[in-house]
Every structure is written in structure tokens, then in C-alpha cells.
Structure 1
Amino acid sequence: MLPPFVVIRSSASMLCRMSMLAGVWFCLVGAAQGQTVSPEQLEAVVIEAIQPLVEKHRVPGMALALTIDGEPYFFNLGETALEGGEPVTEHTLFEIGSVSKTFTATLAAYAEAKGALDFSKPVSAYLPPLRGSAMDSISVLNLATHTAGHFPLQLPSEVHSEAQLLEYFRNWQPQYTPGSKRTYANPGSGLLGLVAARSLNQPFAKAMQDSVFRGLGLSDTYVEVPQEKMAHYAEGHNRNHQPVRVNIGLLGEEAYGVRSSAADLTRFLAAQMALVKVGPEIQRALQATRQGYFRTDYYVQDMVWEQYSLPLEKNRLLAGNSRKMISEDHPVVTVIPPLSPQQNVLINKTGSTGGFSTYVAFIPEKKFGFVLLANKYFPNEDRIDMLYQILQAVLPEVTGGSETGAVDTDSGSP
């Protein structure tokens, strides 16, 4: 049996009834005219997709949002904590892990739109203490595309202060020619955020709040959660169902430190698809992050975003989000000239902390968006299964190819 479950459309009057499926309470706000998927069909699709995952991982709470032909729907399930929590809503705050990197890339692209940053310049151009180091040959774009030359997944544990951080980057040496391979790493994304903030002469958290979150019209998204919003911040749960929250260390804010809601992430994806109006500089920044710079075996690497051609093979999506893709170096081919933002593709990013799971994806041509937020860690494979099952039901034309075969996707990376 699922926990209490509510489905909300974004406007008009509310229609509520008891579902015949799984004993779930179902509410729809404003039945849409001319829908390709009826409310009853959507209800059945979502319940079928989420029920195995919720039961398998004992997920306390989940906020799922779908954008169908440009129309947002919010599916709220369970509570913000295993004990003593409040009902999850589309405004509940979740840790979004490495989906934070998409906002960091947006800040860097915004700085470029303002004329403060040039992605082709070396990192050391914006951090003078790193001049004379390997950072003279690493471009800002390399940081945004995970192609700098093999940073470790996490900063070494002995790096505790900003002075030690700069010393670490001064002494770091690439293990391959920048731009020849892709290595997923938090230090590189964190350094991108540091460079972007320095180029704007602001602390990172302030630059994000003032320029990106405010520019996108986001009201539930924070690097530093205000005290008055803490009551809306869900409690995370690790594999052993113990309560946990993320530990924000050096470069953590920049790489995995954002907290957000289903409502705000849905608006973020809507802005990516030009479904909501934002300012010209933010719009240019969003478009810049979706240019394609490198081809991997599975997808095109944009700035942080990963772009899959359609029709979408499930095994390719699983492999592209696998532990192997996170933990190993992968050869890439430079796209010359870079691909302009594509419409008939699926663009995605996963995110995790020790107690939270996030997955966002969108298909601009179909005006389709997917946001999954849960206050329990579970593997990427289960998140992808949910997305793919929903796509097969609501957009079958974008799915195809292999659907079987095990791929190792379990990763605890933020």
C-alpha cells in the first residue's frame, strides 16, 4: 500500500476522489481540455511507475512532477520524515545533489552573458593564485564539461581551508590532455562555481540567489536555506533508513549544495524549454548550457547537462548514468562547431546525497518535463526505470531499442 498520494494540476478548480488503484487518494486541479493523456490514464501510469520503487526502498516521501505538452502536474506522496514529518507538497525542499551543477553552469553562462567571463580562457585568468600552474592550460569550458584532465570524484580529505584548496589546485596535474576524455568530478564543478562567482565579484551563494534563482523566478531554491524555510526542508534517509542531511564542505555549495522543490525545478525545466518568460541574459545563459561540446559513447556532453538522441534506448540511458560513467575516464570526441541547443533530444541530470535522490529530464520538442525528488537514497537505475516507464505510456514514440540487460548504476555520488 502506498502512503497518502495527491496529484495536482497547476490551475482551475479541484476534483478529488478515491482511486481504485492501490487505495490512493487522488486529486486533480482543473481537468484540461483536449489532453493527449486523460487524468485517469495519468493517474494509473504514475501509480504503476512509482509503487514498486516506493515499496522496494521504503521511501518516506516523494515529489514527482510531470510536464505533459507544456502542462505541469505535481504528484505528492508521503511525508518529509519517517517519524513526525509533514505531508510532502510541491513546495517541500529536497537536497538535489549534483543537479546543483546545472545551476552552477547557468551562473557561469550568465557571467559570460554579462561579459564577465570567457569560457575559452584558462581558469588561472580568474584565479590569480593559480597562475603558473596546470590551470594555465585548463579552460573554464573544461570545468563545465568534465574534461579538465581527471580530478578525483571528491576533494582529498586533508583539504580543509581555502588556502589548502588553492594549494591543492596549484599542485594538481592532469592525467590526460584536457578535452580528450571525460571524468566526472565534484572538484571541477566546484571550481567552475568559484570561477563564476569571482568573475562577478560576489560570494557564490549571493551570486546564485540574486542572478540565477531570482532571474528564473524560483522561490523555493537555496544554497543557504533561510531559517524560516527550515520547516519545509525534508529529512533525508540513508540506505539503513537513518535520518541524514548533506555535509557541505569546501566547494560543496557549488557542486551539490542546492536545495529546491518540485515546483521550482519544474519551472527551471519550463524555462529551458521557453515555456515561461525570463530575462534575456538568463535566457542566453540557459541556451549556452545546452550547447553540445563533446560526444561520449552514450550521449553528447553539454555544460553539465547530458543529451541523448531519440528514439531513446533504455540501456543507453542506463549506461550513461551508470557508476562506471561516474567513476572512470571516458574518451570523448570534440564536436566542431559545438551543437546548437537541440529540440528533439532528451536532456537529463541525476543528483544524490546520502539521504536524497533526484532526477530531472526534459524533451524540448515535446514540451515534456520530469522531476523526481525523494527523501531516501536509491540507485539511478530505479529512477531511470520510472522515467522510461512513464515515457512509454505518455510519449511512446520517443522510446525504442533495448529494454533488457543489467547495467551497474548504483552510485552514492552527490
Structure 2
Amino acid sequence: MGKFHAACLLAATAIANAALAATPQKDIDTNIQPAVQAFMQQYKVPGVAIALTVDGKQHFYNYGVASRDTQQQVTSDTLFEIGSISKTFTATLVAYALVNGQLSLTDHPGKYLPELKGSDFDKVTLLNLGTHTAGGFPIQVPDEIQNTSQLMAYFKAWKPQYPAGTQRTYANPSVGMLGLIAAKSMQTPFDVAIEHVLLPKLGMSDTYLHVPADKMVLYAQGYNNKDAPVRVNPGMLWEEAYGVKTNARDLLRFVEINLGLVNVEPKLKQAIEDTHVGYFRLGAMTQDLIWEQLAYPVSLNDLLEGSSDHVVLQNNVVTPWQPSRAPQQDVLINKTGSTAGFGAYVAFIPSKKMGIVLLTNRSNPTDARLRLAYTILNAANALSN
């Protein structure tokens, strides 16, 4: 990663020497461009879309192509898969159902899925499902599970690896079930709840689980780590866990809603705030309802550690916040996401009213995206009021 580190160092030097009186858009672009280009070159990334909100103003930066075949340029309207950042929409739906009195985070799954009543899975709470503390699941739903009856049989037979609320195991199955339960509480299918209830209320008209035929021309081609063209492979609970496609413009709106910069209906505003409540601590990281937060200012090491392989892929002992931690201002709230052919990152800092969206259309390491985002946020912060 020598070239990338060098580019980051050059960018950091440029940031330190930047004149605050200069035009922010131009200076941010000048400061981040070397790091973005080094990132794209090192990881063979065809296209990158970046969106920033700084001091109430939006900034968009687009690099490269959405498809190597067509050479169509990346724009702020190019659709990217965002992988596990999709979970933040699931969390928002859950919180919206909570505000509307349709569920409680202390509820158990069997209340909404009677076939699971009395099982070990029924002993966990919805809060456990939304904070990765239910008792341990594989990171993906097993491939052999192909339909709802098999899925219910899997969860009915599930046995915890540890008592709920004592350890954290990042996983798609538990969050997927939380989304399924939220939709059940609203008496509607999950895709309908997202695409016809939540997204319209958020004003996100270019965000989809299922990309419409007339929007496919905007859908970037993803590439895996062997440079083969790929797109997300639907499986059980894929919509709830990693199914969202969106563009930099729409996702930045979501960031600005989370920052309180965009007005939404009061119940949705409350739901958004509820997703920022902290429930468990793991090192420097606090686990919210899907979102992960770190005290701000945050070191690069703490940022990387919060999304490191051992945090994502292993069981880790957690300490509960007692009582739960009210939403904070001096924090960086973030979420990583990836599919086989895309990598994404979202972060925002409430006290600074600043946030970033980073979208890429090739498989790349999480830590590389975090380093790039860290450089960009520092550039934006140096030029903010």
C-alpha cells in the first residue's frame, strides 16, 4: 500500500497548507484528487462517486467509468450497490415502526413469527438482532436455504453460541430477520415497506431494492477481485441485509437527514434519532441500531479497528451501555458496505454537520476505503467554517 500511503501523506500536507480563504469546492477537490487516483490505480477501481455535505453545502466528485465496456462516465446519478449500508435503512424502518407503536425493541421474534415461538431464537430480543448480539450467526444465510419454510426451520433449530447481549457477532441472518419482523409488524412485505413507505418519506426517489427497467442504464457494472463483471446475487434475506442500490446524490440526502439538515415528518425524524442511540461498547466503538459510532475527533487507528476483520468476522465480548446512551453530537457515525463487485462507505459527524458518501464499482479492501474517506473528511474539515 506504499503508493496509497504516499498519496494520503501528500494530500494531508496539502490540507495543512490550504488557504482557508480559497474556494472550498476547488480546494477540497485539489486535496483529495491525488488520494482518489492512487486508490483507483492500486485497487483497479473503474469508477468512484463521492458526495460531501459541509457547512450546509453539497459537493460532488466523480471519477472514472460506470462500465469498462460502455465507458459511460460516473456521475452523481450513477447507481451503485451499497451492500451492508442497506442495513441502516432496515434500522430506520424498525425505528419508524417503533415510533408508530407497531413493535418494541424488547419484543421477541415469536410475537411476529408464531412458528418460532418457544425456540431459542424466540428468547432473543429485537434489540439483540439489531445490534449483532443475539448469540452468534454465520455472516451469511447458508446457501442451502432457498425458501421461507427452510429459513424458518433454520431459525427454529438455531442454538446460541453465547448468552444474548454478551458478545457481538456481525451477521446478515439476524439483521435480515429483524427487517422481516419490522415488515410483519407493519403488515406489509419488506420490499413494499422500503420502496413504497420509507424511501418516499425520506424523499429518496433514486434508491431501490429492485432497479426499474428504465433506470438500468444508470446501474454501474460491478467487478469482483478477479475483474469479472458481477452484480449482487439475491438470496434469502438479501433485501433486508444488503439489497439497496442508490446514487451519491440520494445517499447524501440520507446523510443530511441523519444530520438533521433536511426536514422530514416528525415521526420519521424521531425514528432517525432513535437509530443513533448507543447500546453496546466494543473497544472505542459503540454499537447503535446497526450504525456504529466513535468519539470525535477519531484517530485513523480507531476508525480502522472498528471495521477490522476480527471485529467483523469474529465473536467479540461487548459491554452494554446502562442505561442506553442517548444520541451524541461529538461522534463519527458510520457504516461500511460491500458486495462482490462494489464497495461503499458512509459517515457523518453531527457536531460538525458534515458527512461523506463514498461509492465504488470494484471489490476493494474495507480499510482502503476508510483511509480514503478519512483523508477526504480531514480535507473537508480543514476548509469548513
Q: TM-score per shorter chain, which class?
A: over 0.9
Superposition deviation, residue 62 in structure 1: 1.1
Corresponding position of 1:320? 306
Q: Which one of 357, 367, 382 corresponds to residue 381 of structure 1?
A: 367
- SS of the aligned residue for 1:213 comes to helix
Cα distance in 1 for residues equivalent to 2:239 and 2:258: 22
The one-letter amino acid of 2:223's match is: H
Corresponding position of 1:311? 297
2:58 is the counterpart of 1:56: no
2:136 is the counterpart of 1:134: no
CA RMSD of aligned residues (A): 1.7
Cα distance in 2 for residues equivalent to 1:231 and 1:102: 26
Cα distance in 1 for residues equivalent to 2:248 and 2:192: 22
The one-letter amino acid of 1:327's match is: L
Q: Relative contact order, CA 8 A, sep 6+: which one is greater?
A: 2
> Sequence identity, in percent?
46
Cα distance in 2 for residues equivalent to 1:321 and 1:46: 22
Q: Is the 8 A contact 1:225 1:259 kept in 2?
A: yes
2:44 is the counterpart of 1:66: no
Matches within 5 A, 1:227-266: 227-266=213-252
Corresponding position of 2:329? 343
Corresponding position of 1:280? 266
- SS of the aligned residue for 2:105 comes to coil
Corresponding position of 2:142? 156
Which structure's residues are more often helix, by fraction? 2
Q: Is the 8 A contact 1:107 1:211 kept in 2?
A: no
Cα distance in 2 for residues equivalent to 1:222 and 1:351: 16
Superposition deviation, residue 71 in structure 1: 1.1
2:352 is the counterpart of 1:366: yes
Deviation per CA, 1:294-320, whole angstroms, max 9, x where unpaired? 011131000010000022111111111
Cα distance in 2 for residues equivalent to 1:285 and 1:59: 36
Matches within 5 A, 1:142-291: 142-291=128-277
Cα distance in 2 for residues equivalent to 1:122 and 1:36: 55
Corresponding position of 1:391? 377
Deviation per CA, 1:230-254, whole angstroms, max 9, x where unpaired? 1111110111211100101000110
Superposition deviation, residue 211 in structure 1: 2.0
- SS of the aligned residue for 1:350 comes to strand
The one-letter amino acid of 2:381's match is: L
Please report the TM-score for the alignment, with normalisation by the length of structure 2. 0.92
- SS of the aligned residue for 2:159 comes to coil
CA gap 1:102/1:253 in 2 versus in 1, 3 angstroms:
same
Corresponding position of 2:76? 90
Q: Aligned residue pairs: how many? A: 366
Please report the TM-score for the alignment, with normalisation by the length of structure 1. 0.86
* Structure 1 range deviating more: 354-363 or 309-318: 309-318
The one-letter amino acid of 1:73's match is: H
Structure 2 residue runs of 5 or longer lacking an equivalent are 1-19
Q: Is the 8 A contact 1:150 1:183 kept in 2?
A: yes
Q: Is the 8 A contact 1:193 1:254 kept in 2?
A: yes
- SS of the aligned residue for 1:225 comes to coil
Q: Is the 8 A contact 1:143 1:189 kept in 2?
A: yes
Deviation per CA, 1:210-246, whole angstroms, max 9, x where unpaired? 2211111001101111111111111101112111001
Superposition deviation, residue 35 in structure 1: 7.1
Deviation per CA, 1:258-286, whole angstroms, max 9, x where unpaired? 10110011000000011010111211111
The one-letter amino acid of 1:106's match is: T
Cα distance in 1 for residues equivalent to 2:335 and 2:23: 26
Q: Is the 8 A contact 1:37 1:394 kept in 2?
A: no
Structure 1 residue runs of 5 or longer lacking an equivalent are 1-33, 399-414
Q: Which one of 76, 84, 87 corresponds to residue 62 of structure 2?
A: 76
CA gap 1:177/1:93 in 2 versus in 1, 3 angstroms:
same
